Structure 1
Amino acid sequence: MKQTAFAKFWLLAVAFFVLSACSDMSSEPTLDLSNESAFEASVEQVMQSLDEQSQTEFSDALSLIMFDELMAGTSAGMPEEEIEQAIYQRLHGKTGEQVIQDMEENL
């Protein structure tokens, strides 16, 4: 019986360490577009994680990407909800560097 409890303990310990290794505890903050207040808070967190030059690049990239989606949606006659969804799909969950990279690759 003691061996079984000991084996369970080690199995749980190994599982914990494997899961810990798989999750990135020091991950960069990402954009949260689930609602307006979450978006504002996440933009602030992303900005704080970047150096001064990257902050400027991120701010410019974020504005340009949102404007690009707005113009594309408006030109296509999309309803406001669909434009918001397009912006959400393009930006939600991205880090500051990923937003900058998106702008560099697509605009």
Structure 2
Amino acid sequence: MTILIRSIFVLFLALGVAACSSEPTFDATNDQTMEASMEEMTKDMTEEEKMELGQAVMSIAMQVGFSSMGDEEKIEKELKEKLHGKTAEEIIEQANGAK
């Protein structure tokens, strides 16, 4: 779970920093690209929009955590697969569909 917690922390840290342009996507290639892409995705967002995206990421992470039965490597891989290449809007829509 520590890898998942670290990844979520990086995502929320990036949300706090802020960053977004036309339609940037999440890049889950490595920790640096995840942070940079999240900053780009959120830079023009309001605090409410950042909160909505953060909640969406958390919802997806929880779903992945439960379905992976705590296997850290599987959780990290599946979470990256679910988020990679998606816009903020697509991530939110995915989370809303998962509820």
| TM-score relative to the length of structure 1 | 0.64
C-alpha distance in 1 between matches for 2:44 and 2:94: 18
C-alpha distance in 2 between matches for 1:80 and 1:52: 30
Q: Does 1:29 align with 2:24?
A: yes
Question: Partner residue of 1:10?
Answer: none
Alignment of 1:52-91 (within 5 A): 52-74=47-69, 79-91=71-83
C-alpha distance in 1 between matches for 2:65 and 2:59: 10
Question: Partner residue of 1:23?
Answer: none
C-alpha distance in 2 between matches for 1:87 and 1:104: 16
The alignment yields a C-alpha RMSD, in angstroms, of 1.8
Gaps of at least 5 residues in structure 2 are 1-20
Query: How many residues get paired?
Result: 79
Gaps of at least 5 residues in structure 1 are 1-25
C-alpha distance in 1 between matches for 2:68 and 2:26: 21
| TM-score relative to the length of structure 2 | 0.69
The answer (yes or no) to whether the contact 1:28–1:49 under 8 Å persists in 2 is: no
Give the residue type in structure 2 aligned to 1:50. M
Q: Which has the larger radius of gyration?
A: 1
Aligned identity (percent) is 33
